[in-house]
Structure 1
Amino acid sequence: MGLMRRMDAIALIAALAAGSLMLGNSGAIGRESASTVGADLGTVTIPELQDWMSSGSLTSSALTAAYLGRIRAVDPKLNAVLRTDPTAMVQAAASDVRHRRGATLGPLDGIPVLLKDNVNTRDLPTTAGSLALAGRPPRSDAAVVSRLRDAGAVILGKTNLSEWANFRADTPTSGWSAVGGQTRNPYVLDRNPCGSSSGSAAALAASLAQVAIGTETDGSIVCPAGMNGVVGHKPSLGLVSQEGVVPISAEQDTAGPMARNVIDTALTLAVLQGADGAAAFSPPMNLRGKRIGLWRLPVLGPEVDAVMTRAEERLRAAGAEVLEVTPSYQDRLGELEFPALLSEFHRDIDAYLATREGPRDLAELIEFNRRTSAEQTCFAGQELFEQALAAPPTTDPQYQAMRAELADLSRRSIDETLAAHHLDAIASPANPPAWTTDCERGDDDVIPSSTPAAVAGFPSVSVPAGSVGELPVGLLLMAGYRQDAELLSLAAVAERELNAWRAPRYLPTAGPGPTP
């Protein structure tokens, strides 16, 4: 695979890198591009790429050109990438200069990154999938984009998403936006990619970038990651700045890294939070002595449960103690979360819209959608907008009591489960098999596993666990507040032991799919 030279920022993860290479050939993009990069884009990791760029056997320009070529060749099947950055090759050339001078800015220097299109970029449109924001770009970059630029990453472009991060209609279709149309699942093209970081996950599954940025309020990183067979990390609340990201709720929103492997995910998180990635990420060699609670969630069906059983067997074989658990308070969390989000969305979207050209507040946004036929081509509803407009303000005592109870119960649901069984993490299925995309019907949204960590503001990460037929299923891991590094270290070993990643085949259909 090429020359492996030492870099201080990579030394702690070199052993893991050796176990995550050459798992498939999804990165084959034609003989010319493959020979230019000298690697399988589907399985190559950032540490390998940096070794090759340090040795002069690879340039960021060649890598960036390969990804741009793959977007042109493959994305018409998927509709995952809204637009590429016309300056991407200029950014890559600047990284090549730094590499030649030995003055690189860190492990992401020269690495192509895609951004979900609700993350502000000063030089590219940021729309949240809505035509209401399709005019002039924001005045400044989001904080996470500034960190990526400062780290030398190549901003490759913007990905499609579920419009307004899936917070518009009662029965939305994940992966659809008026700006970008419908994103498709690369494994089976008539199946859904899950929302709302659908474009980021589908693009990674198809090897259209090395890493991508997603955002989550509840499930919007970890479900697309699971359903598209990639890795997605929802950081602890506050670990990554939300400045310049289109909001739903400041109490739950966070941007987070997505990649095809845990190594790249961890290195990207380190940049987003402004930390030394190597120092923060040191996976154990096995799971001996680790205790994992398995929350089976039979509501997702026997086929998903069978994937969890196989995952349990492999984790046990790697030395982990696995016992079944059921976190408490889940019904009450389900009752309280949505009403609280309505009040928070009204507050936070009004504040964001005031910074952009277009509708100045939620009321004007609702009117824009009513008079814009293109906003109704997949589903017409905006019931969540209308309910949020009528929701009590966040100064209301009833709302405040609701959010306080949510915070208390969600944190206890994880902390008490961890403490009662002396666990290092809680595991569960991240997603059901992808359902057939249907604008009229909408989504199958029975995915309860993301809620405890999302509401509590605790970290979670999805890694590939297996498949139901052609359709990937992720293993979701959760841990306590600010235990992100420890959780990613455990996830890295789980990823290696499960060894479940496989390349998508872009099948047009796979027969009848799960329905709500």
Structure 2
Amino acid sequence: MKLTFLLALSCALAQPAAAAPTTAPSTAQASLHLAKAGPMENLDLSQLADGIDNGAFNSEAITAAYLARIAAIDDSGPKLNAVIATFPDALDQARSLDAEYRAGRYRGPMHGIPILVKDNVEVAGPLPTTAGSLALADNITNRDAPFIARLRAAGAVILGKTNLSEWANIRSRNSTSGWSAVGGLTKNPHALDRNSCGSSSGSGAAAAAALAAGTIGTETDGSITCPAGVNGVVGFKPTVGLVSRRFVVPISHSQDTAGPMTRSVRDAAIMLTAMAGSDPQDAATAEADRWRGDYSNGLSIDGLKGMRIGVMRAPNADAALLDAAIATLKAGGAQVVLLDTSKIDRQKIGQGEFKILLAELKADLASYLQGLPDGLVRHKTLADIIAFNKAHANTELHYFGQDIFEAADKEKGLDDPAYRDALATSRGLATNALNQMFASNKVDVIIAQTNGAAWVSTLGKGDAFSGPSASQLPAVAGFPHLTVPMGLSGGLPIGLSFIGPKWHDHAILKAGFAYEQLSKARVAPEFRTQIESN
């Protein structure tokens, strides 16, 4: 078990004695039932939730099984480096929730379910929130991000923190996705020499390797959907503003959001239901309570019937996989139309987006650092972080530099006309492009290939992305984006993206669920050392 900090916990989470219902198993019985149900990698969140609900399993047995699996696969064996640390009180959290169940309180499908959280999200307890950087090694805030508090209220066990591309992949153009000075390099469980993409690298690899029932990622542009795609799992980037971003190490208040990464669409919907909601201190979430609901309601294998789906087909897409996916959608009752994307000015959108990210990184990171509890972190600005990295070049700058940081530090601020023009232009172009495709083609959902196959990791040589990427338009526009496993290309996973209009999160979950159930395309990883180049 990974324990970054060995602390004596002064308070056990003891509960008042209560008569256990006859359906509540002992931990030994629950462990036996869990073992009989099959390997952990074959049990998704929904199945575990059903087992707790009907009294076959309990949270302590499930949590202990995941801790053992982390020890066997992440610390030893393949050594994925997906998990930075586990919380010392994880089993105590589980026992407390089991006591609640015995006392007659069941919180719902997240009750007693262990999840892992990307290490740029604050979680109360003895582990720091580092964003993968040694500059934040002492960032133990003892506070929960609001969406973590919501997950706890729903009954989740916060199992640990996952590795990520340091600073969520915004430090250098030459970065290697999945590497951080704190956590090292995360490996792809389908082929250990391959990259896990980023920046939610550990969350994607951990979800694929069944190191928890579900994981949390964050995205500015592709940081949930790419690692989900290349690791062969479901990843959901919600509408920006559906989930609070407070107490999350930021890049961009215009584009940042957290979202679930799971082995099934239903599991993602269950997690999103717990995470979503307005936060008075995050203005972007003002409408969230109006739109939030139970996202697992209405998921059906018949969800594609009567739906009109538009296809964005990139010239470098895997034609065979995409054609098979289209055939599945049609077989499910959807009408599929090819979209004309030739007039989308992707270069102008990209140039504007980069300007936005530079300016907002400088401003938003300073705001985050300056809002930390006193005495934790002496760095208060992006310039301070740049200086720290230079002073610790052997550990922080050994493989790649910080050219994006340095460019961002030259930005003039959020009142700069150049920034404001880029924000209006880039967001306007992306939003209009998507809205026009929805309206003029009368489509409910847009699909595209999420990603190319995972490339060989080469520390110090950057990333060798291949194939298309579907992330930019929904990222810049702030629209919801779901990726679902589409199959294997050369033995490596490829995702299928479902993109919807703003606040239409439920609609794309319904479409993605139906496709998932019809295609059965997800393949469990085999932890191969390497795979032949495709």
Same fold (TM over 0.5): yes
* Counterpart check, 1:481 vs 2:502: yes
Counterpart position of 1:506: 527
Residue correspondences, number: 479
Say if 2:33 and 2:56, in contact at 8 Å, map to a contact too.
Answer: no
Say if 1:114 and 1:157, in contact at 8 Å, map to a contact too.
Answer: yes
Alignment of 1:282-301 (within 5 A): 282-283=299-300, 285-300=302-317
* Counterpart check, 1:406 vs 2:426: yes
Counterpart position of 1:237: 240
Percent of aligned positions that are identical: 43
Cα–Cα, structure 1 residues 325 and 265, in superposed 2: closer, same or farther, change >3 Å? same
Displacement of 1:197 after TM fit?
A: 0.3
- Greater shift in the superposed pair: 496-505 or 161-170: 496-505
* Counterpart check, 1:71 vs 2:70: yes
SS of residue paired to 1:240: coil
2:345 to 313, 329, 354: 329
SS of residue paired to 1:474: strand
CA RMSD of aligned residues (A): 1.7
Alignment of 1:113-262 (within 5 A): 113-123=115-125, 124-262=127-265
Rounded to whole Å, the distance in 1 between the matches of 2:42 and 2:349 is 38
Alignment of 1:55-66 (within 5 A): 55-66=54-65
Cα–Cα, structure 1 residues 161 and 37, in superposed 2: closer, same or farther, change >3 Å? farther
* Counterpart check, 1:320 vs 2:323: no
CA deviation profile, 1:103-142 (whole Å, cap 9, x unmatched): 1222111000000000012212110000000114124211
SS of residue paired to 1:489: helix
Cα–Cα, structure 1 residues 326 and 34, in superposed 2: closer, same or farther, change >3 Å? farther
Counterpart position of 2:366: 350
Say if 1:266 and 1:281, in contact at 8 Å, map to a contact too.
Answer: no
Counterpart position of 1:311: 325
Alignment of 1:47-58 (within 5 A): 47-58=46-57
SS of residue paired to 1:64: helix
TM-score (norm 1): 0.89
CA deviation profile, 1:154-206 (whole Å, cap 9, x unmatched): 00000000000000011110000000000000000000000000000000100
Rounded to whole Å, the distance in 1 between the matches of 2:301 and 2:489 is 29
Matched residue type, 1:59: N
Matched residue type, 2:440: A
Say if 2:303 and 2:510, in contact at 8 Å, map to a contact too.
Answer: no
Counterpart position of 2:483: 462
Rounded to whole Å, the distance in 2 between the matches of 1:323 and 1:450 is 20
Which structure 1 segments of 5+ residues have no match?
1-31
- Runs of 4+ displaced beyond 4 Å: 32-35, 278-281
Cα–Cα, structure 1 residues 131 and 281, in superposed 2: closer, same or farther, change >3 Å? farther
Cα–Cα, structure 1 residues 281 and 454, in superposed 2: closer, same or farther, change >3 Å? farther
Rounded to whole Å, the distance in 2 between the matches of 1:267 and 1:196 is 23
Say if 1:130 and 1:375, in contact at 8 Å, map to a contact too.
Answer: no
Say if 2:45 and 2:214, in contact at 8 Å, map to a contact too.
Answer: no
- Greater shift in the superposed pair: 374-383 or 105-114: 374-383
Cα–Cα, structure 1 residues 377 and 281, in superposed 2: closer, same or farther, change >3 Å? farther
Cα–Cα, structure 1 residues 171 and 326, in superposed 2: closer, same or farther, change >3 Å? farther
Counterpart position of 1:22: none
Alignment of 1:432-471 (within 5 A): 432-445=452-465, 447-471=468-492
Cα–Cα, structure 1 residues 296 and 34, in superposed 2: closer, same or farther, change >3 Å? farther
Displacement of 1:279 after TM fit?
A: 6.9
TM-score (norm 2): 0.87
Alignment of 1:368-387 (within 5 A): 368-376=388-396, 379-387=399-407
SS of residue paired to 2:193: coil
- Greater shift in the superposed pair: 231-240 or 371-380: 371-380
CA deviation profile, 1:253-311 (whole Å, cap 9, x unmatched): 000111000001001001001455267554462422211111121235xxx22211111
